[in-house]
Amino acid sequence: MGAQILAGLLALLALYFVLRPLTRRQAWPGETSQLPADALLREKEGVLLAITELEFDHKTGVVSDEDYGRFMARYRAHAMALMQEIDRLRAAAPSAGLDADTAEKDQARKCSSCGRSLDKAHRFCTSCGHTQTAVLTLLIVLVSSGLLHTSPARAGEIAGRIVNGTTQEAVVGVKVILLQGGSDTPTAETKSGREGRFRFEDVALGEYTLGAFYRDVPYAQRGIRVTDEAPRATLDLSVYETTTSDDDVSIRSNHLILQGSSEAINATEIVILENTGSRTFLGKLQPSSPTGHGFFLTLPPGYRELNTPDWLTRRIFNPAENGFHLAFPVPPGTTQFMLGYNLPRTIWGTPLDRRLSFPTGSFSVAVPLDQGLEVSAKALPEQRTVNIDGRKFLVMAGGPFAKEAPLEARIAGGLQAIGFSARQMGWIAGGLLTTGLGLGWVISRGRRLAS
């Protein structure tokens, strides 16, 4: 708040100096000024500052070319009149606030464009109108770096507490990080203090993710927004004690979406894990795990070309023929992730069998109706047709299932299953029929000759 008030005062001060030459009684060309020398110097300073501000606003696009030309002509004429009057007073009465020492110092600077002597207060040349580069550069640097604000600073605050969700107590000394947008690099970090409190000040407007590490487990709260309407965000971030027991862990739902090509079945799987306990589930002790713990997630046998998000890929270890191990802490609540893989397509069909890693509330398989895929699964008796992205899918579902329960399902094989068109299958059927008739005739003829 203090920074915004200071910025507002600076903006008002700048506006005052810009408008002052237009509102005060001014000595335009041809007029005789009756102002004393010190008043003329102050007037000149205001006009020069106004010219500097106008030059900067024009370069940054705030002032149009038309307004810039009109006001600059008036400012330059006014500045020239003031300089002439000051020179006249200096020549007539050296004691009028301008001693020889001051005059000598005032004339020491030269214009970088035309070489004319400049007064020490000059920010532009009264002869050619050239703005002194150092001054303009300094203004640009100050404004762009935020050291000088022409308008109140837009900044917010994110604050809250770190709370142990297992014990409901505040947690002190936890590392807290702040990430903006989708960046993986923290924009700020701190540690929770008394009563588990943390605070990030001078936060730019935008969307943030708040993260904390407790017992070597990361926790995050995404979608924190800091806006003009709501510049202050307050929240509690829960962290938990850990456990290796999976008694409270289950798969709420598992969705398998299948689409076929001539060579493979493309599978997309969405898994929603649920932890109904008050501790983060780590999995069993696994020496080869990057975190020291993990659990096994089953997939259909023979899966290949596993495709997962980067954050999930880094947690996969010890892949097997029918699944992989996952070093993935599961906090209380629900956790969802998605993965993709391919299954081989053969004339004998494609198995979807698996043993479920956790108790599963529901399991569903969806296949498009326009690709000729047929799935047989006695464990998925519920069937319905749904639209997904404008295409019709047949969805088969079932559940609940116990932990380690076998789920048997299969994609039908045959010639159509490996990518032959109806016309191709007609030619193949005709060829097989002709071959069969030919073989029958040969065998029959051979028997007659033998008899």
pLDDT tens, 245-290? Answer: 999 999 999 999 998 877 789 999 999 999 999 999 999 999 999 9
Between the CA of residue 446 and those of 170, 242, 353, 433, 440, what are the distances in Å?
Answer: 94, 79, 48, 20, 10
Report the relative pairing of strands 156-164 and 232-239 from DSSP bridges.
Answer: parallel
Domain of 320, CATH number, reads: 2.60.40
Q: Residue 360 belongs to what domain range?
A: 249-418
pLDDT at 103 over 50: no
Q: What is the distance, to the nearest Å, from the Cα of residue 115 to the centroid of all Cα atoms in its chain?
A: 52
Half-sphere exposure of 34 (CA within 13 A, CB side): 1
Number of domains in the chain: 3
Name residue, tokens 């598992």: 254
Q: Is residue 447 part of a domain?
A: no
One domain, residues 392 and 310? yes
- Residue percentage of the chain with pLDDT more than 70: 66
Q: Which of 342, 295, 344 is nearest to 318 (CA)?
A: 295
Phi, psi torsion values for 382, nearest 5 degrees: -75, 130
Note the pLDDT tens digit of each residue in 148-207.
Answer: 444 444 689 999 999 999 999 999 999 999 999 877 789 999 999 999 999 999 999 999
Burial of 450 (0-12, 13-18, 19+ CB in 10 A): exposed
21 with 47, same domain: the answer is yes
What pLDDT is stored for residue 445 in this prediction?
67
Per-residue pLDDT, averaged over 344-349, amounts to 83
Q: What is the pLDDT of residue 238?
A: 96
In 227-332, at which residue ranges do the beta strands (DSSP E only) sit? 232-239, 242-243, 249-260, 264-275, 280-281, 284-285, 293-298, 304-307, 316-320, 323-326
- Cα distances from 366 to residues 135, 343, 385, 387, in angstroms, run 68, 15, 9, 11
Residues 235 and 253 in one domain: no
pLDDT in tens, 48-98: 767 766 665 665 555 677 777 777 787 787 777 777 777 777 676 654 444
Calpha distance 311→307 (Å, rounded): 12
Q: Are 42 and 181 in a shared domain?
A: no
β partners of residue 406: 355
pLDDT above 60 for 127: no
pLDDT the model gives residue 34: 45
> Do 189 and 324 have their domain in common?
no
Residue of 238 and 117 predicted with greater confidence: 238
Show Cβ contacts of residue 435 under 8 Å, excluding neighbours closer than 6 positions: none
Top pLDDT among 296 and 425 is at 296
User: Does residue 431 form part of some domain?
Assistant: no
Question: Do 259 and 229 lie in a common domain?
Answer: no
pLDDT higher for 133 or 442?
442
Is the pTM of the predicted complex or chain greater than 0.85?
Answer: no
How far are the Cα atoms of 121, 292, 299, 305, 346 from residue 339, in angstroms, in the given order? 68, 23, 11, 11, 23
- The verdict on residue 190 lying in a domain is yes
Residue at 207 is within a domain: yes
The CATH number given to whatever domain includes residue 211 is: 2.60.40.10
Q: 411 and 326 in one domain?
A: yes
> Residue 303, class by beta-carbon neighbours within 10 Å (0-12 exposed, 13-18 middle, 19+ buried)?
buried
Domain contains 439:
no
Asked if residue 441 belongs to a domain, the reply is no
Residues 288 and 382 in one domain: yes
Give the end of a domain, one of 221, 239, 257: 239
CA distances from 270 to 10, 150, 253, 365 (A): 55, 51, 8, 11
Q: Is residue 117 part of a domain?
A: yes
Distance of alpha carbon 160 from alpha carbon 413, whole angstroms? 58
The more confidently predicted of residues 125 and 393 is 393
Q: Are residues 288 and 347 in the same domain?
A: yes
Residue 196 · residue 163 · CB < 8 Å: yes
Q: How far is CA 16 from the centre of its chain?
A: 41
**Do 265 and 372 belong together in one domain?**
yes
Q: Is residue 79 part of a domain?
A: yes
- Whether residues 39 and 90 share a domain: the answer is yes
Contacts (Cβ under 8 Å, ≥6 apart) of 368: 258, 259, 260, 391, 392, 393, 394
Last residue within a domain, chosen from 184, 218, 239? 239
Q: Is the same domain home to 82 and 163?
A: no
- Between CA 20 and CA 42 the distance in angstroms is 11
The residue out of 189, 213, 239 marking a domain boundary is: 239
421 vs 411, residue with greater confidence? 411
